Amino acid sequence: MNKLIPLTLLLSLGLTGCQTESEQTTQTAANAQSTSSVIAEQKRQLALELSQQFAQMEPTLRTEINEYQLSVSVSSLVEKQPIAQFSHSLQSADTKIRKVKGIEEYTNEILELRLADPSMLARWQTGQSPLFAFEPEGNDNTWNYIEAYDINGQLHQLDVYDIPERPVLVVDSNSHEELRAGIAAMREEIQRLQNTDSVETNQLSRSAMTYSAQVASASEKAEPISTTVLKKIRLNDDKEPWISGKSEIYSIVTGVNPSRDEPIVDIIDMPYLDYDKQDYYPNQVVIHWKRYRWGAADMILMEQDDGTDYKQLAKLLVEVATEVMKAIPDPEVQAYLIIPQLTGKIIDAIPDGALTNDDDFVDVFYTLMQDSEYVDHPAAGGNAVATFTPLTINPTRD
């Protein structure tokens, strides 16, 4: 997907209040670029090392990568070839990258080797010599080419958008696993920062039944739960570079706490939303109205990319939203009109000028109302269309 605006560039925003705007921009770009550089360099070294050691690794890779799975994980390679130098290098790099991203406590591994595109499988299986690549540093709008090494360690420059005819093995993160771990880290950090012990805040469940069970266990008599369900969603064509693989989309739902004058920031995983120009029917609960003061909330769609420190991202989301609340002396006067201000502040805090390929703003649905249905409803930027329906979940019958 073509990255519109990178989010991690706001990571210094809430921490540099006494600096000038120019100083803030410089420091923010430097911090984000440093993280992205560390990750890209780790992957570059792995791609080069694999090209030099491919003869040793080839039998295992040809066994593990097939029509049923186009990738192989760190643990699989270590298990199959425990004494291979590349296996140890991959394991070491995986640890470093998880630490940089702030998810070392939430997953045991994220790196993998994957065949860049299913169309390459036939050529790979017939023994064609592969290239070894990695996702470049920086926003994909700035990429001039994709660097890749052949089995002799020679560098090749591949087109960013045209899929190569030769098989390409990509040193990359397992995007599903990284996003799962990243969302877990963000939820825990948001809960810690908001200092609440609400059972709902611990994790906004993707399952309405799971959420219902949590609420029921917290009270002797469970009450019906008012929710909004995402029935269908479609993203428009955004020309994703072939090396990036599937999109990994999540959303940020913003609102106001029902009992305190503080923001609510909920993170929703959307692991099914892999490709643009395709309809998805998740039937996913995305808003639990008990968590919000008024019957309105906004939903920001984001795409996960390399270079994100998820704990720092969560901290900035809370800080930015909290500053908006502090600037409003009497929230009850403005009521739910506060919510677009919360959302707007988060979006406005994202600087233009992409310097890193980090989590990106995709689009935003403003003012989703409780008990309201939206059929083929376009997001504000026209980059997403979705259908939302209200759903009341009743307690389990005895």
Other CB atoms within 10 A of residue 210 CB: 11
Q: CB of 308 within 8 A of CB of 8?
A: yes
- Three-state DSSP class for 349? coil
Residue with tokens 């005895």: 398
pLDDT of 109 reads 96
pLDDT of 345 reads 81
Q: CB of 106 within 8 A of CB of 184?
A: yes
What is the residue type of 113? L
Q: Calculate mean pLDDT across residues 40-45.
A: 94
pLDDT of 347 reads 77
Q: CB of 199 within 8 A of CB of 276?
A: no
Which of 110-114, 225-229, 240-244 is predicted with the least confidence, judged by mean pLDDT? 240-244
* pTM for this predicted structure: 0.78
Higher-scoring residue by pLDDT: 81, 14: 81
H or E element that contains 125: helix 121-125
Q: CB of 185 within 8 A of CB of 105?
A: yes
Question: Is the pLDDT assigned to residue 108 strictly greater than 50?
Answer: yes
Q: CB of 341 within 8 A of CB of 324?
A: yes
